[in-house]
Structure 1
Amino acid sequence: MAGRAATGSRRGAVLGRAVTDPSRIRNVALVGPSGAGKTTLIEALLVHTGVLSRAGTIADGTTVCDHDPAAVRQHRSVALAVAPITHDELRINLIDTPGYGDFVGELRAGLRAADAALFVVPADAASAGGIDPVTVGQWAECARVGMPRAVVIARCDHQRADIEATTAACQEAFGAGVAPLYLPLFDGGSLTGLYGLISRTPADRAPAHADDARAALVEGIIEQSEDEALMERYLAGEEIDQRTLIADLETAVVRGGFHPVIPVCASSGVGMDALLEVIAGGFPSPLERPLPKVTGIDGSPRPQLTADPNGPLAAEVVHTSADAYVGRVSLIRVFSGTLRPDTAIHVSGHHARIPEQRAGEALPEGHDEDERIAHVYTASGAELTEVDACVAGDICALTKLAGAETGDTVSAASDPLLLSCWDLPEPLFPVAVVPATRGGEDALVKALSRVVAADPALRMERNAETRQTVLWTMGEAHADVVLSRLRAAGAEVATEDVRVPLRVTLREPGRVTGRHVKQSGGHGQYAVCHVEFEPLPRGSGFQFESRVVGGAVPTQYVPSVERGIRTQLERGLGEGDAQYPVVDVRAVLVDGKAHSVDSSDAAFQTAGALALREAAAVCGTVVLEPLDEIAVTVPDEFLGTVLGDLSSRRGRVLGTDAGGDVPAGYTCVRAEVPQTELLRYAVDLRSMTSGAATFTRTFARYEPMPT
């Protein structure tokens, strides 16, 4: 036992029971919008299978699913949580994923750990305006990784629930392959049972439209069948037997071509057995799903993995959290081999992972460490129960892996491996953090290390030019959670405005003199240089040349003048704290004076720096701001709004594209926009398009800032 030990005989039996056969494992992610009822559904399944005595509690009274402090305060799931149950001699790992759009990184981590998904939609979705764009985006996330899915219509006891209308809305939003497997049965306006369209039970309660619904379901199943003669038999009027239909249904679900719809009511338990039947019979085991590509830690090719408990150990950290009792907890999905206690393992840093290794190209810098694990645990939310092994296909937890971060590969110390990375979302909303109190730097640094390691969608940047620590997040909600986690980790943190790194260049050509002459007893300092400066086109950098004749500036001091100018270029020009690096300038040393005793390298460096500062006064300066090229993929209904907004941000539209890789009904807008206008763009774009639009950004160049 570790942490808050599990209690209760039934729960202990579920969590502590060893699983040795990957075919008896189902890893199921619950995906859907915030408020759809995913966590409530998991708790209902825990109660239904006897793990919990009542929803929301385990034997010691703590919550089972959400243990992130930020989630508790904000009443929403913001991180992964796993809850295992047993059914029909199967171990089913239920993976709760966040539904809010800012936490797509956690969603992708959950899909990485899963082999199938229950897509949870509230039964009042149709009456609330239909399937929103964020939910459609989550469906696309599942489709992108080829995740088998079933649709769960949840919260069927809601006063505005309309199961049939919501099913129709799902069919319209998610496309072909979505079809009801069961029809709801009502008594006095309340959902009291389900009618199975394949089994036609209970026969005495068949709804009026059951035959039509069954015909549509059967045709959909047959269209997905690998038996090409089956459709001909069906069209000829032959009754297809139930066993064949079920077998073809299960195959279609595993292949991702068919998505059955099941209504459930967590409060009454209606639909729970039907849902468990779909999970057990229709969802794939780890043996039926493709595994990530694997290489040696040096990028060398390795054979493709299989979910073999006796194969090489290859696992991945899919979530990292902190427990008040045991410290860092790493949630692990084992893809190959078996993870056992008291074992030497190797942790390969995810920063070193690349999808492909090009010939002659070195691996990026990462971290690689050997560690020894003392215990292996099954996790149920925040609860840890010790087990004697975790086989390929299963999910477990390890504690006190000091160097492990979300996304890292865990393999045998004797045979270190590197799993190909999953696609991480690009965080585009910056937040600058500072210690809230004097002397709080060390605590903030430690907290940042812990929080960044746990969050795959969080990127930290220490900007040397602006002297700021910037956290790139997915949006305001994500930023709030990150700040809450930093404070929970012991840091007193505050935020400040994000500063955009500006540049300056000279406005026009000019000739100046850099003069550094001092005499204070003994050797003095003497250096005079005459320099012609001129601005260069954007991106030219700094150019230096010497046209000195006659030895006016001795040859050994010419490089000193250049070093002095370069130092001042980097130090910057401006007033007060507004010192900006100087770019795109040519300096030509044309003349000067030296002293046989008092001239030195240091003196001519100072003279060169003074020459550049004088040039700023003589030639004038222009402040340059960075521009990014952005690509906004926006539904056509919001295109005008987005174009108008870009214009208000001083954006220059480069073009619009439709078709090709752009989804139907969408347009990709390419534009150049100043970085200062993009600081809140991730939030504003989501607001003006109801979360339907996305964008990417890349640095383009610097241009003069309007005065």
Structure 2
Amino acid sequence: MGDKANTHTGAAGRATAADHPASVRNVVLVGHSGSGKTTLVEALALTAGAVNRAGRVEDGTAVSDYDEIEHRQQRSVQLSLVPLEWDGYKINLLDTPGYADFVGELRAGLRAADAALFVVSASDGPETMAGATRMVWEECAAVGMPRAIVVTHLEAARSDFEQMTRTCETFFGGDDPDAVIPLYLPLHGEPGHDGHAPVTGLVGLLSQRVFDYASGERKESEPDPDQLPLIEEARNRLIEGIIAESEDETLMDRYVSGEEIDYKTLVGDLERAVARGVFHPVLAAAPAAPGARQGIGTVELLELITGGFPTPLERAAPVVTTPSGDARTVNVCDPDGPLVAEVVKTASDPYVGRISLVRVFSGTLRPDDTVHVSGHGLADRGHEDHDVDERIGALSSPFGKQQRVLSHCIAGDMACVAKLGRAETGDTLSAKDDPLLMEPWDMPDPLLPLAIQAHSKPDEDKLSQGLSRLVAEDPTMRLEQNQATHQVVLWCLGEAHADVALERLRNRYGVQVDVVPHKVSLRETFADRSAGRGRHVKQSGGHGQFAICEIEVEPLPNGSGIEFVDKVVGGAVPRQFIPSVEKGVRAQAAKGVAAGYPLIDVRITLLDGKSHSVDSSDAAFQTAGALALREAAADAKIHLLEPVAEVQVLVADDYVGAVMSDLSGRRGRVVGTEQAPGSRTLVRAEIPEIEIGRYAVDLRSLSHGTGRFSRAYTRHEPMPSQLGDRMREQAQDVS
């Protein structure tokens, strides 16, 4: 694996359907923004013969061309599939965004893949590994996903392969740093005028062969005698690491006794250990020289993928139920089994319409099939449960901006499906006569609110459809129609996520929106007992209006709502008008009595009143009830109540002090802490919701990307008087 002669010719860029799951490799690339994932994908495509030396496909576009937003922002914002052919294998490379705001795209890639390549830059410091990248590594470890590491940017002046390898051992090795070991060491040429020696090739530690890329073609040779001592220590450590993970229990004893272990035995054990997810080789990659056919390390990486990464047959069968929840057993990756496929990404094409990227886990998908589309479990994010039969259109394999037609897609492979008008990301496709459902993958909770409104009347007409299509593509986004504040709110993962949402609304769906300040659902209540008299008397010829009522208002404990009590005696208010008074005071309570926020947690008691045999009416007593409540409020102290959330912050131990100090500065009350796995601490606090509108952004900055939090409404409680006065003034200015 990786130490073989360069006999591969690659493919001419054809994206054909795989014939058997054993010939498929699904690999997701993971790494922080700027680590070089997309550049590496393009280099692999060049080596596989899928693009020309200028990095272009047949139509002249780049293999990574997909979204105009990515070009403008100069960063990946969505998952993209790049299929390659190499040595008789089909390799589906899933390039994921490295920026934390698009972790939903990363999670989709992890769901669709069977192995992961963690891409790290040799010129970066350890801080880039300590945040989200390390957490994703731990997630992969929890499910046993095979992983390898690729060190990029070896051409940079400050690059240090050895130092980055040690950093990987620290952050990824955990209790077993000997499971993270290089397979190759970079070879350097003569230093330039700046003193930096460029990488010209690699030396294979197992084979002790040199792979020289200096000429633009990979050439294999024996190492110079003076190079052998430099690799001996690293080679011995690699062999010991492989033997430690070998399933042959006699191998270590034979090695310790001085026996020379056969090269093929070592390679076989290495490949099995990688496929089992217990050994994580480190490889090196550098850009191709101008005009070269191969980037440094790309052949070695393709050989690792085809030889060491597992086939889809080695992945456990997904948990499948019927839409009603009954368990079903599905064989592992059987092309002849019942159809079970999952939409891992949804996109819109201005000419084709909705395109769904689908991973097939069982069965075979064919063009023009009628399939059952099931979507369950995401109702809280604006995705209503749905079950519908749809006829799919053409199957294709994406490459740059091209869509190459496929005749079928077997279990273990991926394809783009056209014309699934109702399918959303996370939905399950199955046979129409045997509907099945896969549980949605774990997605982060969007916690940054973005309140929007249509810019004009034409935009208002298009807004609903644009928003529904937007959230259908991105299940990490939650759409809220807030009944309390009357705002349309898009809950996003961060500012960049919000910016992309706005740009897609504007450019893809033709909807101009304005961003407005996000409102929290404030409430009002009485601080003490008060009384009010409502008098509604009008006479203007014919039937007049006559209603008088007297009420008393008193505060109730938190969560009591509004309680109406009738204590009228002697028929001062006729029985038929008692409900009218209640309706009037409740209507006024909903409108508010001080700053326009709903009134809660009070008991309103009707004590007395007067009526007229002719002029009293339902409408008159409703008005009198409302007037009485407003008069009672005018003579009382009214508290503004703000919503309080329980917040749980999971953060690395190094940042606990800073997080707790920040929470206190937001009027938060820390109610407890507890240790969590991975040298992290869970901080529990109660904090006013008005103080955490941007906490998703601020926590990321405060914790260097290591923190995450959840929030849940607990109650409303009085707002500080100074802040309450300011909110009343703002309400009066608006009115």
1:638 aligns with 2:655: yes
Does structure 1 residue 372 correspond to structure 2 residue 391? yes
Q: How does 1:515-664 map to 2 (within 5 A)?
A: 515-574=535-594, 578-658=595-675, 662-664=676-678
Query: 2:628, 2:12 → 1: CA distance?
Result: 78
Greater than 6 Å deviation, 4+ residue runs: 10-13
- Alignment partner, residue 195 of structure 1: 203
Distance 1:243 1:347 in 2: 47
Contact 2:12 2:49 in 1 (8 A): no
Q: CA deviation at 1:372?
A: 0.8
1:471 is the counterpart of 2:523: no
Residues matched between the structures, number: 682
* Alpha-carbon separation, structure 2, partners of 1:337 and 1:520: 80
Q: CA deviation at 1:656?
A: 1.8
Residue-by-residue CA offset, 1:644-663 (whole Å, 9 max, x unaligned): 221221111112222xxx13
Match of 1:181 in 2: 183
Query: Which residue identity is paired with 1:14?
Result: R
> Which amino acid in 2 is paired with 1:101?
A
Assess, with a 3 A threshold, how the Cα gap between structure 1 residues 56 and 460 changes in structure 2: closer, same or farther: farther
For 2:686 and 2:544, the matched residues in 1 are separated by: 53
Specify the code of the residue in structure 1 equivalent to 2:123.
D
How far apart, CA to CA, are the structure 2 residues paired with 1:412 and 1:64?
A: 33
Aligned equivalents of 2:67 and 2:467: distance in 1?
Answer: 17
Give the secondary structure class of the aligned counterpart of 2:603: strand
Candidates 357, 365, 372, aligned match of 1:331? 357
Given residue 140 of structure 1, which amino acid in structure 2 is its aligned partner? E
1:11 and 1:550 map into 2 onto residues whose CA distance is 96
Instruction: Report matched runs for 1:70-109 at 5 Å.
Output: 70-109=69-108
State the shift of 1:55 in Å: 4.4
Q: CA deviation at 1:438?
A: 4.3
TM-aligned CA deviation for residue 207 of structure 1: 4.5
Secondary structure of the residue aligned to 1:440 is: helix
SS state of the match for residue 471, structure 1?
A: strand
Distance in 1 between residues matched to 2:453 and 2:79, nearest whole Å: 28
Cα distance in 1 between the residues matched to 2:558 and 2:235: 67
Q: 1:457 and 1:99, CA in 2 relative to 1: closer, same or farther beyond 3 A?
A: same
**CA deviation after TM superposition for structure 1 residue 93, in Å:** 0.4
CA distance in 2, matches of 1:706, 1:352: 37
**What is residue 358 of structure 1 aligned with on the other side?**
none
Q: Structure 2 vs 1, CA of residues 20 and 353 (structure 1 numbering), >3 Å: closer, same or farther?
A: farther
Aligned 8 A contact 1:82 1:381 in 2: no
The Cα RMSD (Å) is 2.1
Amino acid at match of 1:603: A
The match for 1:493 is 513
For 1:360, the equivalent position in structure 2 comes to: none
- Does residue 461 (structure 1) correspond to residue 480 (structure 2)? The answer is yes
The alignment status of 1:306 with 2:332, answered yes or no, reads yes
CA contact (8 A) 1:634 1:667 kept: yes
Partner of 2:209, secondary structure, is coil
The 8 Å contact of residues 64 and 383 in structure 1, kept in 2 or not, is answered as no
Residue in 1 aligned with 2:165?
Answer: 167
1:390 and 1:485 map into 2 onto residues whose CA distance is: 30
1:580 aligned counterpart, secondary structure: coil
**Which stretch shows the higher mean deviation, 585-594 or 364-373?**
364-373
> What is the CA-CA distance between 1:340 and the residue it aligns to?
0.4
Distance 1:634 1:390, change over 3 A: same
2:693 alignment counterpart? 679
Q: CA deviation at 1:20?
A: 2.3
The 5-angstrom pairing of residues 347-362 of structure 1 reads 347-351=373-377
* Structure 2 partner of 1:231: 252
Cα offset, 1:570, TM superposition: 1.9
Secondary structure at 2:328's aligned position in 1?
coil
Post-superposition Cα deviations, 1:466-500, rounded to whole Å, max 9, x if no partner, equal: 22111111111111111111111211122111111
Closer/same/farther in 2, CA of residues 448 and 669 from structure 1, 3 Å limit:
same
Aligned to 1:4: none
Match for 1:656: what amino acid?
A: T
CA contact (8 A) 1:22 1:307 kept: yes
Q: Which runs of 5+ in 1 are unaligned?
A: 1-9, 355-363
Residue 699 of structure 1 and its aligned partner are, at CA, apart by: 1.0
- 343-352 vs 177-186, which moves further: 343-352
Aligned partners of 2:278 and 2:690: how far apart in 1? Answer: 45
Who is 2:704 aligned against? 690
When residues 334 and 381 of structure 1 are mapped into structure 2, their CA distance, relative to the original with a 3 A threshold, is farther
Q: Which residue of 1 aligns with 2:131?
A: 133
Contact persistence 1:81–1:380 (CA under 8 A): no
Correspondence for 2:68: 69
Q: What does the per-residue CA deviation read over 1:535-557, in whole Å, with 9 as the maximum and x for residues that have no partner?
A: 11111212222222233223333
| 2-structure distance, mates of 1:425, 1:667 | 19
Q: Which residue, 278, 295, 305 being the options, matches 2:321? A: 295
User: One-letter code of the match for 2:184?
Assistant: Y
* Shift in Å, 1:36: 1.0
Match of residue 361 from structure 1: none
Match of 1:243 in 2: 264
Alignment partners' CA distance in 2, 1:443 and 1:162: 53
What is the CA–CA distance in structure 1 between the aligned matches of 2:23 and 2:246, rounded to whole Å? Answer: 25
On the 8 A contact 1:116/1:284 being kept in 2, the answer is yes
375-384 or 624-633, which deviates more: 375-384
Among 300, 312, 331, the alignment partner of 1:274 is: 300
- Matched letter for residue 610 of structure 2: K
Give the aligned residue type for 1:201: R
Give the match's secondary structure for 1:685. Answer: helix
Cα distance in structure 1, aligned partners of 2:332 and 2:624:
68
Quote the Cα distance in structure 2 between the aligned partners of 1:12 and 1:296: 42
1:75 CA displacement: 0.6
CA distance in 1, matches of 2:270, 2:162: 21
Could you tell me the TM-score, scaled by structure 1's length? 0.92
Could you tell me how far apart the structure 2 residues matched to 1:353 and 1:641 are?
Answer: 36
Is 1:157 the counterpart of 2:165? The answer is: no
Relative to structure 1, the CA distance from residue 11 to residue 67 in structure 2 (aligned partners, 3 Å threshold; closer, same or farther) is farther
Q: Secondary structure in 2 aligned to 1:250?
A: helix
| C-alpha distance in 2 between matches for 1:475 and 1:686 | 9
User: Secondary structure of the residue that 2:696 maps to in structure 1?
Assistant: helix
Structure 2: tracts of 5 or more residues without a match: 1-9, 191-196, 211-221, 290-294, 722-735
- 3-state SS of 1:402 partner: coil
User: Aligned with 2:14: secondary structure?
Assistant: helix
Distance 1:526 1:69, change over 3 A: same
Q: 1:694 to 1:340 in 2, by over 3 A?
A: same
For the structure 1 residues 123 and 84, does the alpha-carbon distance in structure 2 shift closer, same or farther, using more than 3 Å as the test?
Answer: same
- Contact 2:359–2:413 at 8 Å: present in 1 too? yes
User: Per-residue deviation at 1:604?
Assistant: 2.5
Q: CA offsets, 1:605-637, max 9 Å, x none? A: 332222222221122311011111111122222
1:484 maps to 2:498? no
Q: Distance in 2 between matches of 1:297 and 1:353?
A: 15
Residues 526 and 329 of structure 1, relative CA distance in 2, 3 Å threshold: same
Give 1:130 shift: 6.2
8 Å CA contact 2:530–2:633 kept in 1: the answer is: no
Secondary structure of the structure 2 residue equivalent to 1:573: coil
**AA in 2 matched with 1:111:** L
Given that 1:43 and 1:55 are in contact with CA atoms closer than 8 Å, whether structure 2 keeps it comes out as no
Partners of 1:458 and 1:428 in 2: how far apart?
9
